[in-house]
Amino acid sequence: MGRKPANFEKAIQASGLTKKEIAYRKNVEPATLSRHLSGAIPLTLDQAYDYAEILGCSPQEILFPLETMPVIISNQMHNEASEDKWATSFTRVVHDKPTATINTPSYFERDMAACVNLADEDYRGGLNGLTNSIDIVLKSPIVEHYVHPRCQQSLSYVCLNSDHESPREKTNIMIQTIFNQPDSLYTLYNPITDYTHKDVDLRWATPICATIYHPDMFYTGAIQ
């Protein structure tokens, strides 16, 4: 038996095609595709290129293992009973020692980390479309406790050094747009939660570099 292609199965899942359709386009029997997947029939480089063209990816993404990225923040969305029926509140947890990772393409930088967006089973708020999405952030500002300069006037994850008065945010970790003030203080604003807070002392802030609404399309859906 040859070596099993490390990422072939995930590439198929991301393509949205059935294995029967892939076999048809490759002009092979479904059983042959199954043997290519298992490594029972070694996959040649030419065959990897053929499959990659069908799946809309690169041969490397079929043949080789993906990089992993730590999950550094978990966001949980709740119905906020104190406001209207579509309101959302958040509980956010920072994992100082990440207990999970996600698979990720190799073009993400090494300093990046993932924030996963989850929701209560009965959640019916206006942010349902964010459920199971992933935010990509820089890890070092969280670990080393500083405000990254790219956060200025940019939507970012922030951690306050003090308590706050927002009913939507159940912890001192939030998603806000940051505006610099004198004396190392900041103004925070979030148009979704209609939250403005001035003269804020921040422990850290890290910019949101990307949001992936359909992680399975980017091979990032598998949390290890």
Q: Domain containing 155: what range?
A: 67-218
Going by their DSSP bridges, the two strands 112-119 and 134-138 should be labelled as antiparallel
Same domain, 173 and 194: yes
Domain final residue, candidates 63, 83, 107: 63
Same domain, 43 and 59: yes
**Rounded to a whole number, what is the distance in angstroms from the first to the last CA of the chain?**
27
Does pLDDT of 146 surpass 70? Answer: yes
Same domain, 44 and 19: yes
For 119-128, how does the pLDDT look when each residue is reduced to its tens digit (9 = 90+)?
999 998 888 8
- The CATH number linked to 165 is 2.10.109
* Rounded CA separation 100/108 (Å): 17
How many separate domains does the chain show?
2
DSSP of 24-47, one letter per residue?
Answer: HHHTS-HHHHHHHHHTSSPPPHHH
For 101-116, how does the pLDDT look when each residue is reduced to its tens digit (9 = 90+)?
887 766 677 789 999 9
pLDDT (mean) for 125-142: 91
Same domain, 95 and 199: yes
Average pLDDT for the chain: 86
Which pLDDT score, from 0 to 100, does residue 7 have? 82
pLDDT category at 3 given cuts 50, 70, 90 is confident
- The residue count for the chain: 224
Judged by average pLDDT, the poorest of 14-18, 25-29, 109-113 is: 109-113
Q: Let me know if residue 1 belongs to a domain.
A: no
